[in-house]
Amino acid sequence: MQAESTLAGVRPARPRHLARTFTPYLFILPFFTIQAVFLLYPVVSALFLSFYQATGVGARKFIGLGNYVSLVQDPRYLHALLNTTEYALGSILILSPLALLIALAVRSFIVPSDNARSLYRLAYFMPQLTSFVVIALMFALVFDKDYGLLNNSLAGFGLPKIGWLRETSLAMPSVIMVSIWTFVGINSLYFLAGLQNIPHEINEAAAIDGAGRLQGFWYVTLPMLRPTLLFVIIQATIFSYQVFDLPYLLTGGGPSDASLTVVIYLYQAGFQQFKLGYAAAIGYSLGIISIVLSLIQLRVFRRWSEV
Amino acid sequence: MSAHETGEGSKTLIGGQAVSRRTLLKTGVWLAGMSLLAACGQPGAQPSGGGAAPTTAPAAAAPTTAPAAKPTTAAAAAPTTAPAGAAAAPTQAPATTGAAATLEFWAFANERLGFVKDAVQAHPELTINYRVFPYQEMHDKLLAAVTSGRGAPDIVDVEISRFGGFLKGDTVPFVPLNDKIGTDLDSLYQSAATDPWSWKGKIYGVGNELNCCLLAYRKDVMSDLGVPTPFNAWTDVIAAGKKVVAAGKSKLFALHDLHFGDYYILTQSAGSQLFDENGAFVGDNDAGVSAMQWLQDQVYKEQIAGIAPADAQNMWNGPAYWAAFKAEQFVGTFGPPWHIGVWMANVPDQAGKWAVQPLPKGIGAGKPTASFGGTGQCIPTQSKNPDAAWQVIKLANFSKEGALSDFKSRTVYPAFKPAYDLPELKAPNAYFSGANFGEIYSTVAPTLTPFRQSPGWPDASDAVNRLVITPVMQNQKDAKSALNEAKTEIQKTMSGG
């Protein structure tokens, strides 16, 4: 120990200074190394790939923006984009208000007991813990035309059997229904967290000023929920444009592309048609769309907060 | 001076010993570096725990159970002339491998490995590390491996509909097997065993399944209705179907509205294929149109068929499908052994009530069978042990042991002709009213329409599903115009558009 102290004492100042400077960076180095290898490199590599005609195994040909030009002329891509937008609108216009309604109900006098509230929170969160494969298998049985739970329930009202996942007009709405079931719980938890952050005093003050429940919600609760709303809508938009698992497992993107999403098309282009450059371009187009939509939403919410 | 000031940093107790921050950091960086190096290493270099444990053949070369009367191809080079006793002898050692060479074998179904394991059991020089992935994942991983130039296995199961995709680009990532197969090619039903994995005269894989399609029907129902069987022509089948429907309980067929299988089977029976010998789509020719129109007619015009209860992930084997047959909503089907063969397990209470026969005449050329499905074993060009890999493929696919093993475990009828001498394959099937499947298959197999592979196969099957099958079977779109539309898209996709 004595020898170590002596050695430490005679160390030149400069290396020690350098060590102090670099030590924090070394600590965070593993994280950034992993990010660089597994995130940054594929992202940059895919960008380069999107400028090449890379089909199957063999040589690649640089075609500049050729893949992007083909994209905007590809009716299947445009159809997939339309389907995905329909899905995103379902997430934003149906799922988000429903989640807010559930959050308000759980927090309101409808559920007076704390234990019951915890039970509701748990119940709503359960789908989030369930594998998409299990959800898809379950709903494939629910939606089955001949033996499904839904059609057999509707038959009680004298309604005809419906091919929920097999008719082109119903496939995407059915996928949206499953998506709502799956994600409404986690979104209502976001809203619950937001509602809990609104001080009681403000609602009480509004009530004293004569605001009813609806007015209190419209003029106090909703504006105070703005950050939560922004978060929920932006993440719903981004995740909606990335949707793959549920429609792929439920319908495979069919029938006749009725539920084809952009990411399913990306997968098909890359791994079934082996058009790797084209698939990379689809991926980048998706990234650009998500960024643009998020920026629009940020701007809209900023304006709302200025009003 | 504090520890911090001396540069020693704070110390952590690990295992009772003080470890300085610097030591911890060095260790961390070292471990991270090693992990990175390991991650960048060739994944196939050593067995992982992810798949099945490496299978090492038993040290003692036990005699096989091949019937003594006939030769077996397990005995290496001369499969059809080797004496029966040769089955027990080890085949010639792989040329480029030592005894220690471990082969990587990728598959997408555990069930497809049994016959390989049985076939190589008597060959201790062949050590195989089997890895089983889900269907999609395995083909995706294979694509990633052959595209990146590293990580491909020595042997891989490539499903028939996925092989065409690997022909895109200017390089085929599999080893040509023509020279290795040599004259043994004659011992195979090539339409099923090698054609699907061949391109431009080169054979890149060998499949062991003879997936001949037959017509199956409820013999008891037909007898009750006074319908004579077997059927000679499809018109007889339609007449029988009308009687079945008139009886008020069932329909004859469950036809698919999401998958091209039924259309593909009938197109072959009509004497055509999806592609010609140059790889161009011809599924819209007269044979294809008549097959597709026939399918639509049975649902909407003749009304003897309904739409099959299937879902996107399970077109041929889902719970709703079997529930419908159990409930006798349908009393007939046509398909390959992997479809008809699972009736026994899924509808066991109808044992003895079914019968099978070759496909009737009346659509195009009226061939008595068609081939549908299959999986071939290929050797990627990245393999460091192509000779040993071929040895495994040969033992599994050119031997009675391999054929019998897969027949016993999966009721697969082999593409290896000499196996049809085996008594097991000739045994009558009680479920199907005593039908001799082995005899039927070996009789109809030579009439199979030659399979034409194409780089456009995955695109074509997808386009036909989307633009033909669903619109024609659901919305009664005209078969000819739907097939023309599909052809236009397939040609555009294949030309790089």
* pLDDT tens, residue by residue, B396-428: 999 999 999 999 888 889 999 999 999 999 899
Which residue does chain A place closest to B469, by CA atoms? A256
- Report the pLDDT value the prediction gives residue B94, as an integer from 0 to 100: 40
Pair of tokens at residue B249: 């309980």
Number of structural domains found in chain A: 2
- Report the pLDDT value the prediction gives residue A209, as an integer from 0 to 100: 87
Cβ of residue A251 closer than 8 Å to a chain B Cβ: yes
- The chain-wide mean pLDDT, for chain A, equals 87
Contacts of residue B21, defined as CB under 8 A and 6 or more positions apart, other chains included, come to A23, B8, B9, B10, B11, B12
- Report the pLDDT value the prediction gives residue A92, as an integer from 0 to 100: 87
Count of CA atoms in the C-beta half-sphere (13 A) of A79: 14
Which residue does chain B place closest to A69, by CA atoms? B497
Q: What is the 3-state secondary structure (H, E, C) of B110-166?
A: HHHCHHHHHHHCCCCCCEEEEEECCHHHHHHHHHHHHHHCCCCCCEEEEEHHHHHHH
On the question of pLDDT at B25 being above 90, the answer is no
Domain of residue A95, CATH code: 1.10.3720.10
Count of CA atoms in the C-beta half-sphere (13 A) of B291: 30
Which residue does chain B place closest to A57, by CA atoms? B169
Contacts of residue A75, defined as CB under 8 A and 6 or more positions apart, other chains included, come to none
Average pLDDT over residues A5-32: 73
Interface-testing mutation among B311, B317, B461, with chain A (most A C-beta atoms within 10 A)? B311
Average pLDDT over residues B346-360: 95
Q: Contact B395/B40 with Cβ under 8 angstroms?
A: no
* Domain contains A57: no
- Report the pLDDT value the prediction gives residue B23, as an integer from 0 to 100: 65
Distance between CA B188 and CA B74 in Å, rounded? 15
Give the model's confidence band at B28: pLDDT under 50 very low, under 70 low, under 90 confident, else very high.
Answer: low
Cα dist. B41→A284, B36, B150, B456 in Å?
A: 29, 9, 10, 34
Does A109 lie in the same domain as A34? no
- Looking at the complex, report in whole angstroms how far the Cα of residue A90 sits from the nearest Cα belonging to chain B: 22
Give the model's confidence band at A214: pLDDT under 50 very low, under 70 low, under 90 confident, else very high.
Answer: confident
Taking CA B52 as the corner, what is the angle to CA B95 and CA B205, rounded to the nearest 5 degrees? 45
Average pLDDT over residues B117-138: 92
Distance between CA B398 and CA B385 in Å, rounded? 19
Average pLDDT over residues B318-335: 93
* Domain contains A62: no
Cβ of residue A79 closer than 8 Å to a chain B Cβ: no
Average pLDDT over residues A82-93: 92
- Report the pLDDT value the prediction gives residue A58, as an integer from 0 to 100: 80
**pTM given for the model:** 0.81
Distance between CA B21 and CA B29 in Å, rounded? 12
Does A174 lie in the same domain as A33? no
Pair of tokens at residue B162: 């996925």
B57-74 pLDDT, tens per residue? Answer: 333 333 333 333 333 333
Does A183 lie in the same domain as A252? yes
C-beta neighbour count of B382 within 10 angstroms: 20
- Report the pLDDT value the prediction gives residue B20, as an integer from 0 to 100: 64
Question: Across the strands, what pairs with B254?
Answer: B306
Cβ of residue A49 closer than 8 Å to a chain B Cβ: no
* Domain contains A209: yes
Taking CA B159 as the corner, what is the angle to CA B157 and CA B161, rounded to the nearest 5 degrees? 155
Give the model's confidence band at A277: pLDDT under 50 very low, under 70 low, under 90 confident, else very high.
Answer: very high
Cβ of residue A1 closer than 8 Å to a chain B Cβ: no
A30, A58, A274 member nearest B143 (Cβ):
A274
Cα dist. A115→A118, A188, A219, A222, B92 in Å?
A: 5, 17, 30, 26, 74
Residue, of B495 and A67, whose pLDDT is higher:
A67
B167-181 pLDDT, tens per residue? Answer: 988 899 999 999 999
Measured between beta carbons, which residues in chain A are less than 8 angstroms from residue B257?
A: 166, 255
What Rg do the C-alpha atoms of chain A give, in angstroms?
Answer: 26
Q: Contact B469/B260 with Cβ under 8 angstroms?
A: yes
Mean pLDDT check: name the lowest of A107-116, A272-281, B368-377, B432-441.
A107-116
Pair of tokens at residue A52: 């090449």
Interface list for A 106-135 with B (CB within 8 A):
none
Does A241 lie in the same domain as A111? yes
What is the ipTM for the molecules in this complex? 0.81
* Domain contains A61: no
CB pairs under 8 A between A and B: 128
Contact assignment for B459 to A273 by CB distance below 8 Å: yes
Does A147 lie in the same domain as A9? no
SS3 B275: strand
Q: Which amino acid is at A185?
A: G
- Report the pLDDT value the prediction gives residue B10, as an integer from 0 to 100: 45
Cβ of residue A274 closer than 8 Å to a chain B Cβ: yes
| Dihedral sign from CA coordinates of A55, A61, A63, A65 | positive
Does A77 lie in the same domain as A41? no
Pair of tokens at residue A193: 């967290």
Distance between CA A166 and CA A174 in Å, rounded? 10
Does A260 lie in the same domain as A136? yes
Mean pLDDT check: name the lowest of A127-136, B14-23, B207-216, B335-344.
B14-23
Measured between beta carbons, which residues in chain A are less than 8 angstroms from residue B172?
A: 57
B170, B257, B470 member nearest A58 (Cβ):
B170
Give the model's confidence band at B21: pLDDT under 50 very low, under 70 low, under 90 confident, else very high.
Answer: low
Average pLDDT over residues B342-347: 91
Does A246 lie in the same domain as A179? yes
Average pLDDT over residues A24-41: 90
Q: Among residues B44, B230, B304, B23, which one has the least CA distance to residue B153?
A: B44
Average pLDDT over residues A40-49: 93
Count of CA atoms in the C-beta half-sphere (13 A) of B473: 30
- Looking at the complex, report in whole angstroms how far the Cα of residue B470 sits from the nearest Cα belonging to chain A: 6
Average pLDDT over residues B128-132: 95
- Looking at the complex, report in whole angstroms how far the Cα of residue B225 sits from the nearest Cα belonging to chain A: 27
Q: Which amino acid is at B12?
A: T
Pair of tokens at residue B219: 């013999």
Give the model's confidence band at B22: pLDDT under 50 very low, under 70 low, under 90 confident, else very high.
Answer: low
Average pLDDT over residues A155-178: 92
Which residue does chain B place closest to A8, by CA atoms? B6
Q: Which domain holds residue A43?
A: 2-49
On the question of pLDDT at A296 being above 70, the answer is yes
- Looking at the complex, report in whole angstroms how far the Cα of residue A83 sits from the nearest Cα belonging to chain B: 16
Cα dist. A120→A104, A105, A113, A189 in Å?
A: 12, 10, 11, 10
Does A252 lie in the same domain as A173? yes
For B131, phi then psi, to 5°, come to -125, 130
- Report the pLDDT value the prediction gives residue B80, as an integer from 0 to 100: 32
Question: Where does residue B402 rank: exposed (0-12), middle (13-18), buried (19+ CB within 10 A)?
Answer: buried
Mean pLDDT check: name the lowest of A47-56, B13-22, B447-456.
B13-22
On the question of pLDDT at B393 being above 80, the answer is yes
Contacts of residue B249, defined as CB under 8 A and 6 or more positions apart, other chains included, come to B328
- Looking at the complex, report in whole angstroms how far the Cα of residue A47 sits from the nearest Cα belonging to chain B: 16
Cβ of residue A210 closer than 8 Å to a chain B Cβ: no
Contact assignment for A56 to B455 by CB distance below 8 Å: yes
Which residue do the tokens 């934003």 mark? A92
On the question of pLDDT at B87 being above 50, the answer is no
Taking CA A282 as the corner, what is the angle to CA A276 and CA A284, rounded to the nearest 5 degrees? 105
Which residue does chain B place closest to A66, by CA atoms? B497
Give the model's confidence band at B318: pLDDT under 50 very low, under 70 low, under 90 confident, else very high.
Answer: confident
Mean pLDDT check: name the lowest of B48-52, B427-431, B437-441.
B48-52
Instruction: Report the run of H or E that residue A101 belongs to, with start and end.
Output: helix A96-107
Measured between beta carbons, which residues in chain B are less than 8 angstroms from residue A70?
A: 497
Contact assignment for A56 to B168 by CB distance below 8 Å: yes
Measured between beta carbons, which residues in chain A are less than 8 angstroms from residue B324?
A: 146
On the question of pLDDT at A282 being above 90, the answer is yes
- Report the pLDDT value the prediction gives residue B85, as an integer from 0 to 100: 32
* Domain contains A276: yes
B228-287 pLDDT, tens per residue? Answer: 999 999 999 999 999 999 998 899 999 999 999 999 999 999 999 999 988 899 999 999
Pair of tokens at residue A100: 């807010």
A217-229 pLDDT, tens per residue? Answer: 888 888 889 889 9
Does A290 lie in the same domain as A153? yes
Where does B386-496 have alpha helices with state H? 386-397, 400-410, 423-426, 437-444, 457-464, 470-475, 479-494
B165, B455, B470 member nearest A272 (Cβ):
B165
Average pLDDT over residues B113-140: 92
- Report the pLDDT value the prediction gives residue A112, as an integer from 0 to 100: 65
User: For residue B467, what is the DSSP state?
Assistant: I
Does A137 lie in the same domain as A45? no
* Domain contains A140: yes
On the question of pLDDT at B203 being above 90, the answer is yes
Distance between CA B358 and CA B366 in Å, rounded? 10
* Domain contains A297: yes
A11, A56, A145 member nearest B309 (Cβ):
A145
For B472, phi then psi, to 5°, come to -75, -40
For B216, phi then psi, to 5°, come to -125, 145
Cβ of residue A271 closer than 8 Å to a chain B Cβ: yes
Buried b / exposed e along B147-170 (16+ C-beta atoms within 10 A): beeebbbbbbbbbbbbbbbbbbbe
Distance between CA B141 and CA A133 in Å, rounded? 20
Does A83 lie in the same domain as A10? no
Measured between beta carbons, which residues in chain B are less than 8 angstroms from residue A8?
A: 6-8
* Domain contains A58: no
On the question of pLDDT at B81 being above 70, the answer is no
Interface-testing mutation among A144, A260, A274, with chain B (most B C-beta atoms within 10 A)? A274
Pair of tokens at residue B340: 């008809």
Give the model's confidence band at B9: pLDDT under 50 very low, under 70 low, under 90 confident, else very high.
Answer: very low
The distance from CA A74 to its chain's CA centroid, rounded to whole angstroms, is 25
B450-469 pLDDT, tens per residue? Answer: 899 999 999 999 999 999 99
Angle, helix B286-300 to helix B479-494, in steps of 10 degrees = 130
Distance between CA A169 and CA A150 in Å, rounded? 17
- Report the pLDDT value the prediction gives residue B24, as an integer from 0 to 100: 57
